[in-house]
Chain A
């Protein structure tokens, strides 16, 4: 049981590290867009978008 005397403070330190990582992640914008990156990673955008100023054919 004596090992707990080491493990409990250690767990506190780990929680502190994880908390710091979480705060850093929030601050650096990891949570800003939870959906976009998931799509962008599988979207190979090979075909360029048509330029905006060309008139689209009237519908």
Chain B
């Protein structure tokens, strides 16, 4: 029996060995296969949230007429906060920065519970009327699905990061029915790296995510619109719209951040804070119902040009939507900023259309719907500082390729202008402030990967402090170092360093040979480092003191030396290994 088994196993073993050898050399096929499934699963996750939101909206619709309806968003936000913070013990946040953080710091490792936590909590917040978007939560859930599948297959960090990107691409592609937007968003925002190895699996995931959405939900373009005839004045006027979008995006960014900071100091339980925020949004929504929820229905009206209202009202509406979003997200509700951005963007476009028709009524401007569409792109690009995402997303979700020229113009201008005022995008600002954004192939990435333990060397000779100069000269004669660490004979403590270059006059006067001891010629008070320190910090210290080497100590004992010479070699190797494909 056992012989029989052995016989049967041998060819299988050979095949396994062949497959493992094949994937070790080239893992593209493996990644593409996994990407296909990750795309399908994250696509399903996106659809689940989308349909749950629709169902919840339908369920609660009947209650909106009552006077106490403002409590509904409060309940939703409180439940969402309780669920996220108390039951699943996950921090708040809308998801995308968390995914970027995991990608840059932990090779894309995400917890399994993140795959559904944000979906449920954001469904409660948005479904009950909170002003937030479902996109960031599905990005997080797609990314977490990808990360855990990658973990199951025992993939390494680089492969896992690609699969995490596949999850996010599949989710965005599925929720918007927009495969290119999924690819571009992932590469531009999540990974920050365009490489041939990444793009193919991510594209596969985006396609499978889109297909899942089309099979289950039908091939719908979210914001269908009429034909636009765009003339030169319209294109030129885009410059002004870009500026306006930039201003609005800065107000939204600052508003969200300052609200978050302010609420953080309020001594109330988290769920209660979220309830207050929800309550305020509910009250605001009683007067301006368009500010509630994800707000896609109002975008449809605006793009179709059926949203006729006065300039003053639309200005109020923009401000109210910004306020509602900051109240929802800043006070502890769960959700993303993608959908609010699109809504505020389309309102801004509408506002701009009102403004230019008022200023130049003689020009035959293209209709308001076109400007709403351009406004969406401008605000997304300004907020995310990702112009390509802005362009492709709007082209795909509106099915309007004829607006591509002004779209490119406005996206690029808006993202450049907002970058000028606010150097980091909304998603990345906090990560950059904490020094946690480590894009592949950058100086920061290399320095954070190289640890002191990897570059410390013991290529030196120690001397004792009570050594006579004569003996020391003999040591110099026999060796060829340009520094000699001094160690206490009895305790082994590190005392200082002798630099032969700096004591040259003594070395040539033989009458001092028996009069001077090493302790008199060594340099003390030398800055030191420990193995646990960050290389970047140690390098800055070396630069500040103009040192080309620094001793590494542990409990006053010398462990080794960090020298810039070794560092340069290792840095170069690291850069080559990290950047070449």
Partners in one complex: no
Could you tell me which B residues sit within 8 Å of A by CB distance?
A: none
